Amino acid sequence: MEVDMEVDDFVTKSQTFVSWLEKAGVTISDKIELADLRNRGAGRGVVARKDIAEDEVLFTIPRTSILSPETSALPKDITSSLEDPWLSLILNMIYEHQQGQTSKWQPYLDILPQDFDTPMFWDEDTLSFLKGSAVLSKIGKSSADQSFKTQLLPIIRANENLFYGNDVLDSELLALCHRMASTIMAYAFDLPSQDGPASEQEDGWEVDSNASTAATPKGMIPLADLLNANADLNNAKLYHTPDAVEMRSIKPISTGDELLNDYGPLPRADLLRRYGYTTNEYAKYDVVEIAEDLIFLPASKTLGLSTSALQERLDYLEEHDVLDTTYDISHCDSKELTPSPFPEELTTALNTLALSAEDFKTLKTKSKLPKPDPSEKTCGLLRENLERRGDMYLHSTYTLDQNAIDDMKKNWDLSKSGARRRLMALEVICGEKQVLAGARDWTEERRKGWLEAAYNKRQAEDEVDGERKGKKGKR
């Protein structure tokens, strides 16, 4: 692998990193090379030097060259009290970082970013541009601070001979914890023991309380984490073997093309939260989360349900595993009745609330649920939900659209972090409003369909009545 660029600090670090990979036992195909993609705003990336066929091994990384608690030089007993693999990896990375040039991982750590555009590092004014998006509740800076203060800082302070913490303030250690945690969020992979496709970590320490996910070991995989991502052009995938991980091509790749991974179906809000950027390639995955408190109580008031009647129906839905705390509204084609932008659990729940008392009693007797296809009443409830959800955003629907976003990209100085972050926030909000607009259009098309069906029914009935009158007149 070659790095053929004008020598500067960026390129020097790349060259040192490539040399380190070779010494670490990483096997790299001569058909690829590390590239400087700063002119595309993509930092480092990996590109094809020659044509690559499908299912070729692009590089192989032994497990001993994956930075994890198992391979770090930090004594294992230091982290034995940490049950969360995220916290364990954060602490090991802090240790290796503080070792400087004596750490075997230093050439790798040198190419990892020191600054991030993720919302974790935004000020309150910039965060306000995300008002209305559920991503605000997922940043979790306070809970992360609490975890660091109660679990990591005491270990560092108790082992200052290892961590060089004598002259470091708690605030500086907290900042270092956040930096390493954000590095893991953006670059780490889950490390399951079984063979097969690898995956990037499912979610972060800020929000994840799922025991099964939390128990999965995490690791930093050099070179694999330098592949940029594209939902549409994904051409490479990481696979586990017992002793190594392999990056393989999943389709033919032409000379000069970039090797691209894929994050999976991530909405741009989560792309921003985890990786600190947005891109239109992931716009199709945008969703809007609607919390249950915006749905069921307001719906009961519209339907005239008493508190006891609402609770009875919610209890019934809970028994049938239909209720959730939030529901995702997704992109749709408003001209097509399927697929619906609304999850079946939501439409099933609202269909249940919209039943008459007698119909609900019959349903309950049979221990069944209504079909998820939304009724006319349910579509009315959905439109009300969408309006309530849209009112939560800071920016007017009528002044924020894709044209406005495009104008900002042309006129704002995006070299400044403040402007760049505000633009990304507005892209997230614009995308979510497009989801809401599409869902409103979908319900409107359904309403038009019912009106047309009712009109046709009346027309048919009038024709029958006319024929009957005509026959009576002849008599």
pLDDT tops 90 at residue 192: no
pLDDT tops 80 at residue 395: no
pLDDT digits (tens, 9 = 90+) for 431-466: 999 999 999 999 998 888 787 777 676 777 667 666
Strand 260-261 to 228-229 pairing: parallel
Backbone angles phi, psi at 228, to 5 degrees: -75, 170
Quick one: the chain helix, strand, coil %, rounded to 5? 50, 10, 35
Which DSSP helix (H) or strand (E) runs through 156?
helix 153-158
Going by pLDDT thresholds of 50, 70 and 90, the confidence category of residue 198 is: low
Going by pLDDT thresholds of 50, 70 and 90, the confidence category of residue 207 is: very low
pLDDT digits (tens, 9 = 90+) for 30-48: 999 999 998 887 889 999 9
pLDDT tops 90 at residue 353: yes
> How confident is the model at residue 43, as a pLDDT?
87
What's the token pair of residue 108? 């790798």
pLDDT digits (tens, 9 = 90+) for 39-90: 887 889 999 999 999 999 999 999 999 999 999 999 999 999 999 999 999 9
pLDDT tops 50 at residue 205: no
> How confident is the model at residue 404, as a pLDDT?
86
Cβ distance 97 to 176 under 8 Å? Answer: yes
Q: How many CB atoms lie within 10 A of CB 270?
A: 22
Residue labelled with tokens 């995300």: 130
> How confident is the model at residue 46, as a pLDDT?
97
pLDDT digits (tens, 9 = 90+) for 283-334: 999 999 999 999 999 999 999 999 999 999 999 999 999 999 999 999 987 6
Single pTM value for the model: 0.86
Cβ distance 428 to 272 under 8 Å? Answer: yes
C-alpha span between 47 and 4 (Å, rounded): 12
pLDDT digits (tens, 9 = 90+) for 257-272: 999 999 889 999 999 9
pLDDT digits (tens, 9 = 90+) for 87-115: 999 999 999 999 999 999 999 999 999 99
> How confident is the model at residue 201, as a pLDDT?
45
DSSP 149: I
> How confident is the model at residue 339, as a pLDDT?
84
pLDDT tops 50 at residue 349: yes
What is the CA 248 to chain-centroid distance, rounded? 24
> How confident is the model at residue 212, as a pLDDT?
40
Cite the DSSP H helix spans in 188-221.
Answer: 211-214
> How confident is the model at residue 186, as a pLDDT?
93
Calculate what percentage of the chain has a pLDDT beyond 90. 74
Higher pLDDT, 194 or 78: 78
pLDDT tops 70 at residue 471: no
Q: For the residues 179-190, what does the mean pLDDT come to? A: 94
C-alpha span between 71 and 103 (Å, rounded): 12
> How confident is the model at residue 143, as a pLDDT?
94
pLDDT tops 80 at residue 396: no
> How confident is the model at residue 6, as a pLDDT?
46
* Cα–Cα distance list, 175 to 153, 170, 187, 243 (Å): 11, 9, 18, 35
> How confident is the model at residue 332, as a pLDDT?
87
> How confident is the model at residue 203, as a pLDDT?
42
Calculate what percentage of the chain has a pLDDT beyond 70. 87
pLDDT tops 80 at residue 229: yes
pLDDT digits (tens, 9 = 90+) for 355-377: 999 999 999 999 999 999 999 99
SS3 (DSSP) at 168 = coil
Going by pLDDT thresholds of 50, 70 and 90, the confidence category of residue 350 is: very high
> How confident is the model at residue 461, as a pLDDT?
66
